């Protein structure tokens, strides 16, 4: 299992699962895309063509092209501030691997389902993730990521909610997270793993600087 955009095949399995669930769901985004004034942490300096991530300056063969999100401007809510502060003070965890958020899933401004709702992943679309932050809160597991062309703030998706809209996607992700417990670090295996992240100069970074992938990439894609 290898990671990185255009890396291991796990993310394409997720795309297939996300696509299979799309026809049965309806959702909406809302507003026009815009940039909030500031974020708790800055997004990495992604290499892009439009809203599509590139690897070594080009879009890898077979990779889907990114769409411009239509979510409204938002600011991090108190739960996001608390989570980032905790990562800054004690460290956090991110997944060196791909993941996905299916159509119909709600996106939040922090890891709190009673907090600020940013929008819903539209029907027929999904969010393809690479190296998302993994956060645990009140018995729920959250994926945190920057959404390309979606402003400077972290988006948060709840695994419990993903289970409701796409059980297959949730099962696949839950299995992956379970299987990676105790797996050797990426520096030893060059395979999918959990790795520690920190906040440095207002950016999320790996404590192991040898990991070559930016933390928390997200790209809205059209399901096919």
Mind listing the pLDDT tens digit for each residue in 122-171?
Answer: 999 999 999 999 999 999 999 999 999 999 999 999 999 999 999 999 99
Specify whether the CB–CB gap between 158 and 166 falls below 8 A: no
Q: Is residue 1 situated within a structural domain?
A: no
In DSSP terms, which residues pair with 50 in a beta bridge? none
Q: Is residue 116 assigned to a domain? A: yes
With respect to residue 181, please indicate whether it lies within any of the assigned structural domains: yes
Q: Which residues form the domain of 208?
A: 10-222
Instruction: Please give the pLDDT value at position 52.
Output: 83
Asked if the structure places residue 2 within a domain, the reply is no
User: Quick count: other Cβ atoms within 10 Å of Cβ 171?
Assistant: 13
Would you say the C-alpha torsion 63, 64, 65, 71 has a positive or negative sign?
negative
Domain count, the chain: 1
Q: Is residue 4 domain-resident?
A: no
* Residue 6, pLDDT above cutoff 70: no
Higher pLDDT, residue 220 or 7? 220
- State mean pLDDT over 43-51: 76
Q: Is residue 5 part of a domain?
A: no
Rounded percentage of the chain residues whose pLDDT exceeds 70: 82
Rounded Cα distance, 28 and 10, in Å: 27
Model pLDDT for residues 12-21, shown as the tens digit of each residue = 334 433 433 3
- Of 15-19, 32-36, 85-89, the poorest mean pLDDT is in 32-36
């Amino acid at each position: 299992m290898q990671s990185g955009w255009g890396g291991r095949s796990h993310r394409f399995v997720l795309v297939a699962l996300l696509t299979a669930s799309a026809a049965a769901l309806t959702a909406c985004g809302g507003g026009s895309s815009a940039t909030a004034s500031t974020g708790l942490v800055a997004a990495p300096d992604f290499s892009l063509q439009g809203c599509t991530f590139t690897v070594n300056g080009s879009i890898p063969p077979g990779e889907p092209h990114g769409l411009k999100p239509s979510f409204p401007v938002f600011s991090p809510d108190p739960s996001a501030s608390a989570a980032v502060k905790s990562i800054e003070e004690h460290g956090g965890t991110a997944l060196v691997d791909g993941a996905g958020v299916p159509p119909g899933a709600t996106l939040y401004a922090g890891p709190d389902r009673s907090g600020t709702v940013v929008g819903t992943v539209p029907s027929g679309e999904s969010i393809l993730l690479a190296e998302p932050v993994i956060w645990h809160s009140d018995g729920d597991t959250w994926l945190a990521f920057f959404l390309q062309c979606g402003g400077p703030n972290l988006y948060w998706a709840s695994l419990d909610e993903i289970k409701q809209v796409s059980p297959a996607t949730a099962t696949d992700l839950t299995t992956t997270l379970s299987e990676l417990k105790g797996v050797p670090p990426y520096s030893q295996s060059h395979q999918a793993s959990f790795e520690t992240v920190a906040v440095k100069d207002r950016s999320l970074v790996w404590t192991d600087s040898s990991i070559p992938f930016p933390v928390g990439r997200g790209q809205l894609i059209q399901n096919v």
